[in-house]
Structure 1
Amino acid sequence: MHKIRFGILICLHLFVSCLALVFVSELYPQYHVNFRWDVLPHAIAVVAAYSLVSVLFVYSEFSFGYFIGFPFFSLIGGYLWLNCFSEFHYDHRLAGISASASAVTLFLPALFLKSPLKQLWTPTHATFNRILDSILLLAGATLVAGAAYNFDLAQLLRLITLDVDIYLARDTLKFPKLLDYLLRITASALLPFVFACFVEYRKAGRAAAALGLLFLFYPITLSKVALFSAGWIGLIALSARFIEARLVAILSLLIPAAIGVLLIILSKLEILQRPETASYFALINFRMMTFPSLAMDYYNEFFSKNELTLFCQISFLKTLATCPYHEPLGVAIYKAFGIGGSFNASLFATEGIASVGPWLAPLTAFVGGLVLALGNRVSAGLPPRLVLTSAAVLPQIFLNVPLTVTLVTHGVLVLFLLWYITPPPLKQE
């Protein structure tokens, strides 16, 4: 019964996601999102076949790879649905097979390679606590330095409406390169990690300080991830105290998606007014959940007619080889389609479709799975709640940012290192 429940929830999530895409096609047709009744049986068959991949999540135990892998499962399911209705003219059958194969080649190592790495150095309890306190101090200093370049209090006061278009303002922000790295790494990896550790150590004051610092990243960076991170991380930590970690990973996507769909249905029934539902659906169901899948449709179309990057979009490789693209891929995609903003995308679109094309994309996805497996190995023995909480903001980053950028710029490798050196009693050998 336990496994059946997980399977039902995963399939329910796929159903809710596809229903949300039907509503997206009504509300945002300008984004090339389509729906046709005559194609519906085919789309249902494709997604139903893909749902068999959920068996991997039903039978695997919780790990970092599980937590990141399930949003990837949702991303590919959404793309397969969009692919059935797409108005673009690339080889849709090849793209669909490639996407499905990429999902499987990523999930196999990400879900099942978990053997722990032997710690070469383990700090004492006192040393580890000093490391945590030092990270708090570093975060505070980073915030002060960032505020010296930008602190938009007006955006902070108006954030409740969720109607503020921050993208143009955010694109004008200029931080020194080192400070830019510190801001991203601190918000994505360092503060979530210290908060998770302080929760496990039952140090409420320091945990609250970590969340407070995290919230202050929004008026500096104007990042919507930063805006919601503090509340989201706290909610994940609380949920993981009472609910199994795998269930938290599934519900963390299913519940927000279902709320958006329910709001649209209520507005269609005229129980709620459209303005009351539009902001939530636009931010959660459209921007956060549809865009990663939609990016694969755009990237497949663009790179079916333009040169592949052969990974030249990676910064340090641009200095070693001639690259056909002298601007970020997200900007190139935006210029080609004229909508969607800077269309950054996940490893499936960038390291896969853009870099090597659909034929070889499953190989790059397999490498991505090995990276997630490394996260499993360095976090092996840690309490599942600590892994969930310290990685709480990473699913959205992995869905919207290339793997290489996620590892370095957003501090995933730093988080791996912190997990690796975490001492007992938090980490059990």
Structure 2
Amino acid sequence: MGAQARQAVIETIFLARALTTSDQAGIGSPTPQSFRFGPSLLVFAYIVLCCVSLAYVTQFYESILRTGSNADALYATALNIAPFALISILFSVSQFSLGYLLGFYLYTIILGYLWLIQLSKFPYDHALAYASSFASALAFLVPALFITAPIKPRVEISPGTFSKLLTSIFILSAIVVVCGAFFNLRMVRLAEIYTYRGELRFPAWLQ
């Protein structure tokens, strides 16, 4: 039910932004947009739905997440994502575009990560990961939402060359996957993947 509600809010946000932009200046127009209370309210409602969904997720992954008391867990995670939630205002002052669409889904992914990182039991620098994720979101959202004029690249790649480059990347990736399978291919149950993940070993040339 939570997933259906979130999807409904997503569609409503995109429709509201598309209609607002088309009424004001047309899709893709570089005319600056003023703050819109309606889309902002929808985005904040979406954030709340995400947090409710993630609260239920926490209950099913107690093996890798610190749950504690419900009040303590909710308080800690709410404080963790509060600064990031304020970034959602960017979606209320930007035009609807492909960058808006991609940025919104990236925002959702990082929002979920920042919620779960506070409860993670994995031994890594959570503060550094938080700062890196926050900065990465800003680095993508600002140009994706506000750069509407095309930027001429310094180096242009022809369609034929770009196609060959993609093919080369695909072939190289396939070779790496096949080589890796020879060293660590093992069929395990889903609940055991974290147990065996720490045992993965590769030769230096493959790493």
Q: TM-score, normalised by structure 1?
A: 0.28
Give me the whole-angstrom Cα distance separating, in 1, the residues matched to 2:142 and 2:191. Answer: 34
1:65 is matched with which residue? Answer: 99
Give me the whole-angstrom Cα distance separating, in 2, the residues matched to 1:47 and 1:7. Answer: 17
Give me the whole-angstrom Cα distance separating, in 2, the residues matched to 1:25 and 1:319. Answer: 35
Deviations 1:177-209 (A, max 9, x none): xxxxxxxxxxxxxxxxxxxxxxxxxxxxxxxxx
1:87 is matched with which residue? Answer: 121
Q: 2:49 aligns with which of 9, 12, 16?
A: 16
Deviations 1:344-380 (A, max 9, x none): xxxxxxxxxxxxxxxxxxxxxxxxxxxxxxxxxxxxx
More helix by share: 1
Q: Is contact 1:34-1:82 (8 Å) kept?
A: no
- AA aligned opposite 1:65: G
1:48 is matched with which residue? Answer: 82
Aligned positions, number:
139
1:100 is matched with which residue? Answer: 134
What's the CA shift for 1:48? 0.9
Unpaired segments ≥5 residues, structure 1: 119-313, 341-429
2:145 is matched with which residue? Answer: 111
Give me the whole-angstrom Cα distance separating, in 1, the residues matched to 2:113 and 2:101. Answer: 19
Asked whether 1:27 is paired with 2:60, we answer yes
What's the CA shift for 1:8? 1.9
2:39 is matched with which residue? Answer: 6
For residues 319 and 10 of structure 1, do their structure 2 counterparts lie closer, same or farther at Cα, with a shift above 3 Å needed? closer
- AA aligned opposite 1:78: G
Q: Is contact 1:24-1:33 (8 Å) kept?
A: no
Give me the whole-angstrom Cα distance separating, in 2, the residues matched to 1:19 and 1:34. Answer: 17
Q: TM-score, normalised by structure 2?
A: 0.55
What's the CA shift for 1:13? 1.2
Deviations 1:5-64 (A, max 9, x none): 22222122111111111111223445x344333243231112111111112111110000
Unpaired segments ≥5 residues, structure 2: 1-33, 153-168, 195-207
Q: Is contact 2:35-2:92 (8 Å) kept?
A: no
What's the CA shift for 1:337? 7.5
Calculate percent identity across the aligned residue pairs. Answer: 32
Give me the whole-angstrom Cα distance separating, in 2, the residues matched to 1:74 and 1:8. Answer: 16
